[in-house]
Chains A and B, each alone.
Chain A
Amino acid sequence: MRKRTQILSVVLAAAMVGGMLAGCSGTEKDAKESGAGGDSSKTTLTIMHMGTDEAIKNGDIESIMMDKAVDNFKSKYPDVELVEEIVSQEAGYETKLKTLAAANELPDLIMALPSMMGSFYENGQIQDLTPVLEANQEWADTFADGMFGDYTFGDHILGVPRCSIVNHVIYYNKDIFAKCGMDSFPANEQEFKEAVKTLKENGYIPLATGNKGKYAIASQVMPGILMKFNSNEWYEDVKNYNGASFEDESSVEAITYLKELMDLGLFNEDVNSLDPVQVRQMYYDGKAAMYIEGSWSVSNLINEASQEILDNTEITVFPPVKGKEELKGQIVGGQGWGISLREGLADDQQEAAVNFLKEMSAPEIQTLLIEGGSLATAKEVDYDESKLDPLFVKFLDMYNSYDKIVGCPEVQLSTAYMDASYVGYQEMSIGSLTPEELAAKLQEAHESAKKQ
Chain B
Amino acid sequence: MTIKNTLQGMFKFVVNAVLLLFSASCIFPILWMVNSALKTSNEFMQNSMSLTTHPYFQNFIDAVQSSGFLECFLNSAILGFINVVLTVICALVAGFFISRYNFRFKKAVYLLFVSGMVIPMLSLLIPVFLQFKALGMLDHRWTLILPYLAFSLPFAVMLTENYIRTIPVELDEAAYMEGCSTFKLLTKIIFPMCSPITAIIVITSFMNAWNEFPFSLVLINDKSLRTISIAIRMFNSEHAINYPLYMAALLVSILPILIIYLIFSKQIMKGMTVGAVKG
Contact = CB atoms under 8 A, between A and B. Distances in A.
B240 A55 contact: yes
Contacts, number: 121
B213 interface: yes
Interface string A85-105: 111111110011001101101
Interface string A372-409: 00000000000000000000000000000000000000
Given A28-B136, A28-B139, A54 B234 contact: yes
B46 A58 contact: no
Contacts of A103: 126, 129-130, 133
Chief secondary structure at chain A's binding surface = helix
Nearest to A309: B46
Given A27-B140, A28-B138, A53 B45 contact: no
A90 B45 contact: no
A21 B131 CA distance: 12
Nearest to A57: B242
Nearest to A304: B45
Interface in B237-252: 237-243, 245
Interface stretch (B108-116, B194-202, B214-222): B214-222
A300 B41 CA distance: 12
B234 A281 contact: no
Nearest to A52: B234
Contacts of B234: 52-54, 87-88, 90-91
Given A24-B137, A92-B214, A99 B236 contact: no
B218 A29 contact: no
Contacts of A305: 45
Interface in A17-68: 21, 23-25, 27-29, 31, 35, 50, 52-55, 57-60, 62-63
B230 interface: yes
Interface residues of A, number: 49
A297 interface: yes
B142 interface: yes
Interface residues of B, number: 42
B187 interface: no
A55 B237 contact: yes
B239 A297 contact: yes
Contact of B126 (A28, A99, A281): A99
B52 interface: no
B119 to A, nearest CB: 17
A135 B138 CA distance: 37
A286 to B, nearest CB: 10
A106 to B, nearest CB: 13
A90 B136 contact: no
B182 to A, nearest CB: 12
B8 interface: no
Nearest to A107: B221
A273 interface: no
Contacts of B140: 24, 27-28, 31
Contacts of A23: 142
B236 A91 contact: yes
B42 interface: yes
B167 interface: no
21 contacts: A24-B143, A27-B140, A28-B139, A28-B140, A54-B66, A54-B235, A55-B239, A58-B240, A87-B217, A88-B234, A88-B236, A96-B217, A103-B130, A277-B243, A278-B48, A280-B45, A281-B46, A281-B48, A284-B46, A285-B46, A296-B239
Interface of A: 21, 23-25, 27-29, 31, 35, 50, 52-55, 57-60, 62-63, 85-92, 95-96, 99-100, 102-103, 105, 276-278, 280-281, 284-285, 296-297, 300, 303-306
